[in-house]
Amino acid sequence: MTKRPLPPLNALRAFEAAARHGSYVAAAVELHVSAAAISQQVRNLEDYLGVQLFERLAHGLALTEAGRDWLPELSAGFDLLGESTARLRGRRADGVLTITMLAAFANGWLLPRLQRFRERAPRVDVVIRTAKTLADFRRDAIDLAIRLGPGVGRGLAGHALCAEELFPVASPQLFRGGHLPDSLEALRDYPLLHDTDAGGEQPWLGWRAWFERAGLEPTQAARGIGCSDSVVLIAAALNGLGIALGRAALVGPLLATGQLVRVTSETWLAPWRYHLVAPAAHFRRPAVRAFTDWALEEGGAATGGSHVPR
């Protein structure tokens, strides 16, 4: 069989990174070279192919039609190469499985269940990385991410894992043995704890939206302690500092042990869900597939939410 000629690998990497970022500068940072070197590599690639891949604009880059057509195939090729290399280096079924997620999700959902996965897959060592920022699968050697969002995300495969359901929670000590308030309106007599990330795309995280939704004056929800991290927000509730909007996936174990209690009957089922996401090639790794199958059993996710190639 005649081998088909391939362009220089460095030129391919330069184009793929620049196309993904829409910037020579960002591609240069990722590949640890200069922006001028990225530009030259792309021009060399265009000369080699006899095709223009980018439109050079005043404020960035835009792929030509040829570039848009080629990029998905090139990216898939790099994913396959990375997968094959990882397999050769023995990093698949019995090695380390690195997962990234929010710290609060790790505390509230994954850690209470993780022993069951260890019993099912004892030869897989799990590394949990917590971060608010989205995983960069090419740069950070991440196998799998658990993300909260309206969908899987562009260029990724994934599975819907579990819902984002919220309701008011507090420590029993806040009420000193008395009756719990039975409505949102009654909460105005108690301190409220605020997630400072509320609003915008996630109104269900904020008390103001809850009060408005119930037809109550939203200024009642304006005062109280604010936290930028869900772990700290839950800790503030545990310490009796106020009533928080508890996320079911994060506070389940605390409700089960009685450390927190549901305060009123109101619930907000958010349109966003938690998803297992990664490049499609990652889901062919036995360790990733084993964790995914186990997690979906734990989460009770519907198979209709699947975007994972099997």
Residues 121 and 261 in one domain: no
Confidence of residue 246 (pLDDT cuts 50, 70, 90): very high
Q: Name the average pLDDT for the chain.
A: 85
pLDDT(102) > 80: yes
Distance (Å, rounded) from C-alpha 43 to C-alpha 41? Answer: 5
Shared-domain flag, residues 183 and 266: yes
CA atoms within 13 A on the CB side of 117: 24
Please check whether residue 64 is in contact with residue 53, taking contact to mean a CB–CB distance below 8 angstroms. yes
At residue 4, the pLDDT reads 65
- Same domain for 278 and 207? no
Which residue type does 297 have? E
Examine the domain organization and report whether 285 and 196 are in the same domain. Answer: no
| Token couple for 268 | 């907000």
Choose the weakest-confidence range: 101-110, 193-202, 220-229, 273-282: 220-229
Q: What stretches of the chain show up as alpha helix (H) in DSSP? A: 9-21, 24-31, 35-49, 65-88, 103-105, 114-120, 207-213, 230-238, 248-256, 286-299
Domain assignment of residue 263, yes or no: yes
Indicate the residue among 54, 88, 122 that finishes a domain.
88
CATH at residue 37: 1.10.10.10
Q: How far is CA 304 from CA 18, 161, 208, 274, 301, in A?
A: 35, 11, 34, 14, 8
Secondary structure letter of residue 179 according to DSSP: P
Question: Side chain identity at 263, as an amino acid letter?
Answer: V
- Does residue 2 lie in a domain region? no
Find the largest Cα–Cα distance for the chain. 83
121 and 50 part of one domain: no
Q: Coil, helix or strand for 125?
A: strand
Range of the domain at 100: 96-163+272-305
56 and 187, same domain (yes or no):
no
Assess whether pLDDT exceeds 80 at residue 70.
Answer: yes
- pLDDT at residue 251 in the model: 93
Same domain flag for 159 and 196: no
Highest mean pLDDT among 46-60, 98-112, 195-209, 291-305: 98-112
CB atoms inside a 10 Å sphere around CB 142: 20
Two structure tokens written together for 28 = 């240069």
Q: Is residue 287 part of a domain?
A: yes
Instruction: State whether 64 and 200 are in the same domain.
Output: no
Within a domain: residue 1?
A: no
Domain presence at residue 254: yes
pLDDT at 278 over 90: yes
Question: Which has the minimum average pLDDT: 80-84, 166-170, 249-253?
Answer: 80-84
Q: Is 190 exposed, middle or buried (0-12, 13-18, 19+ CB in 10 A)?
A: middle
Are residue 288 and residue 159 in the same domain, yes or no? yes
